[in-house]
Amino acid sequence: MNLKNEKQLLLVIRYTLPIFILFLSICITTFLYYENKSSFEKMKKNTEEKFISDKKEIVKNQVENIYKYIISEQVDTENALRQSLIKRIHESHKSIQNIYNQYKNTMNKEELRVLIKTTIKDIRFNSGRGYFFVYDKNAITQIHSLLPALEGKNLIDYQDSKGTFVLRESLELLKNKDESYQEWYWRKSPEDMTDYRKIGFVKNIYELDWFIGSGEYLDDFEKDIQKKVLSQISKFKFGENGYLVVIDKNNTYLNHAKKELIGKNVINKLNKWNKTDIMNKTRELSKNGGGFITLNYSKPNTNIPVTKISFTKYVENWDWIITTGFYKEDVDVLIKEQEVILEEQYSQNLQKVFIFALFITSVLLLITYFISIIIEKKFKSYKDDIKHHIKENQKQYELLAQKSKLAAMGEMMENIAHQWRQPLSLITTAASGIKFQKELDILSDEMLNDSIDSIGHSANHLSETIEDFRDFFKPNKEKSFFKLGDCIYKTFKLLSSQIQNKEIEIIEEIDNIEIDSFERELLQVLLNIINNAKDALSKIEEEKYIFIKIYKTEEDAVIEIKDNAGGIKENIIERIFEPYFTTKHKSQGTGLGLYMSEEIVSRHMEGSLEVENSEYEYKGNSFRGALFTIKLPLK
């Protein structure tokens, strides 16, 4: 932000807000003066409507919340039953195992069976409805707490009310599993032809070649849930006269503030004060999504009917109606109180509004003056902090860049040593040969010339190597046009000896694209990536490949480099561009190579560097390795 913009912003802060506050105060004061009388009457009417509307919304939300609670209990009923059964079976199974482990060395199996039968036979749960049954693997009844007469009988052909062979199904379920849920359908009495769904749970007792189980009718368990829900609803109270009413399908009160009404018929009570068939209307309204209904009803502890506005809703699976409401006269009292308050406020507001407007405007003018001074100081301090942080960040970046460059220099020195080893060996061999042949007086002119030519050729190669590596370390502050294929060629020329020594094959698919960027910095990035690939490939025994592919899209030139070294571990692949993160030993890596490579590509070259693990095929073989993708803008 330049100095001119800063001054303009300070002027806006200093003067615009006070002017706006002053103008707004005048407008509001004028508006209140002319509109206060008419708005007062409107406010009284709105207050009445709002009180009624708010009260309706409150009772509606109360019913909806209870409805959601009931629905959640309905949804969880079967799951709760399943959890209850599995808990009981696991407890019983644990007891059987404890008895078996405690007495298996002192009692034979038949004695253990008798002891276990005695222990669990009379156990009951779920209000006395729940019991255990035990069968052996031939479907012979060992324990049946509900029907002891079945004990000792083979029930392999026993069927439920829908024809399912219950014991055969149990044995089949437990053939390959320790335990399993199971469902049956039974009729509760000969007179009742309804097929009631029963959920059961069975579990193997391997030690005795038995299996234990238990079951519960879903509707019986659901009645316990209903009792729990009604118990919770009975605790629900709001306001002075607020309570929740629950009515069943027979129009019987299940919950009411007047406890003496619970279990009694609703219609008799309502017909006493309402001339219309209000209960049928209530039920019809409830089944159509619920809504508000107005009726005459007495308050708790009174026998005088008053107008009551109620919200009612239907609970489908249980055939319940839940309703609550408010008495109109309670709201009328609140409305009258509010109107008195509004009248007092009306007379006071006219006097206060002018004083307040003048006072607040003066205070705001003073505050904005001091705020402008504080903001100006904060701006200057903030600018200084930003400059300081920028300098510090730049210093840190330069230190990291220098450290990375020094690390690269170390690697380059190693590469120089590799590149020089063969030419120096040739020079030494040629010189030693000349000397040896001279001493034996067998040195011919032809052999001398060949040796000198070999020494000269090797020296030239050494000189070219020095030039190649010197180019790598030259400063590169300005962009220039260069071809990506040439850059790849230079990279592999610097690393040629190590690539050859490690028997790595380079597979190229290169479109020699020309871009305007920083060639030597890209060279450093390529060296870092290919060096990492080379190090990774040195750890495998099979064929070693590095694939280079260069192509362009509409906006970018793309360089893809991948190997077949197995890829990067998934738990570290997200961290490889972090500074100082390395998987190499401290003596082999600094953790700056890939970090600086990403910084160079993104910050200097305005591109991107990404990595992923890639699976591919080459020459009919499947490979997996790290894939580095460099994207550089074409323009």
Q: What SS3 string covers 520-550?
A: HHHHHHHHHHHHHHHHHHCCCCCCEEEEEEE
Q: Between 209 and 75, whose confidence is greater? A: 209
Q: Give, as one character, the DSSP assignment of residue 139.
A: -
Per the CB < 8 A criterion, the answer to whether 113 and 208 are in contact is yes
CB 53 within 8 A of CB 209: no
* Cα separation, 263 vs 247, whole angstroms: 9
Inform me whether the pLDDT recorded for 599 exceeds 50.
yes
Report the relative pairing of strands 556-563 and 621-633 from DSSP bridges: antiparallel
- The CATH number of the domain where 504 resides is what? 3.30.565.10
pLDDT score for 590: 46
Q: What is the DSSP letter of 299?
A: P
Which candidate, 582, 633, 581, 578, places its Cα nearest to that of 604? Answer: 633
Which domain does 513 fall in, by range?
475-633
Range of lowest pLDDT (410-424, 514-528, 615-629):
410-424
pLDDT at 203 over 90: yes
Residue 222 lies in a domain: no
Cα separation, 212 vs 133, whole angstroms: 6
pLDDT at 2: 52
Tens digits of residue pLDDT in 329-353: 666 666 676 666 766 766 766 677 6
Do the domain assignments include residue 266?
A: yes
Residue 199 has pLDDT above 50, yes or no: yes
What DSSP assignment string belongs to 351-410? HHHHHHHHHHHHHHHHHHHHHHHHHHHHHHHHHHHHHHHHHHHHHHHHHHHHHHHHHHHH
Please check whether residue 430 is in contact with residue 454, taking contact to mean a CB–CB distance below 8 angstroms: yes
Domain end position, chosen among 314, 330, 346: 330
Tell me whether residue 162 is in a domain: no
Q: Is 111 exposed, middle or buried (0-12, 13-18, 19+ CB in 10 A)?
A: exposed
**Element of type H or E holding 89:** helix 17-103
Give dist(CA 541, CA 380) in Å, integer: 63
159 in a structural domain: no
Please give the residue that has the higher pLDDT: either 578 or 408. 578
Residue 100 pLDDT exceeds 80? yes
Number of separate domains in the chain: 2
For residues 344, 349, 352, 353, the Cα torsion angle rounded to the nearest 10 degrees is 180
Give CA–CA dist 153/409, Å, rounded: 90
476: region left, alpha or beta (phi > 0 left; psi from -120 to 50 alpha): beta
Average pLDDT over residues 61-82: 78
Q: In Å, how far are 193, 269, 472, 486, 513 from 405, measured between CA atoms?
A: 89, 94, 10, 22, 27
Question: What is the CATH number for 294?
Answer: 3.30.450.20
Predicted confidence band at 113 (pLDDT cuts at 50, 70, 90)?
A: confident
Mean pLDDT of 137-148: 88
User: What is the H or E stretch that residue 610 is in?
Assistant: strand 608-618
- Choose among 141, 101, 150, 99: nearest CA to 120: 99
Name the token pair of 117.
């039968």
Higher pLDDT, 105 or 305: 105
Band (382; pLDDT cuts 50, 70, 90): low
Confirm whether 57 is domain-assigned. no
Q: What are 275-283's contacts with CB under 8 Å, separation 24+?
A: 279/251, 282/312, 282/321, 282/323, 283/314, 283/321
In a domain, 526, yes or no: yes
Residue 310: what pLDDT? 80
Indicate left, alpha or beta for 624 from its phi (over 0: left) and psi (-120 to 50: alpha): beta
Please check whether residue 524 lies inside any domain of the structure.
Answer: yes
Domain boundary (330, 350, 383) is at: 330
Last residue of a domain, one of 287, 307, 330: 330
pTM of the full structure: 0.39
Q: pLDDT category, 247, cuts 50, 70, 90?
A: confident
Q: Report the chain's mean pLDDT, rounded to a whole number.
A: 76
Domain for residue 409, yes or no?
A: no
Predicted confidence (pLDDT) per residue in 249-295, tens digit: 777 877 777 777 777 777 766 666 665 677 777 777 787 877 887 77
Nearest to 141 by CA among 172, 167, 163, 176: 167
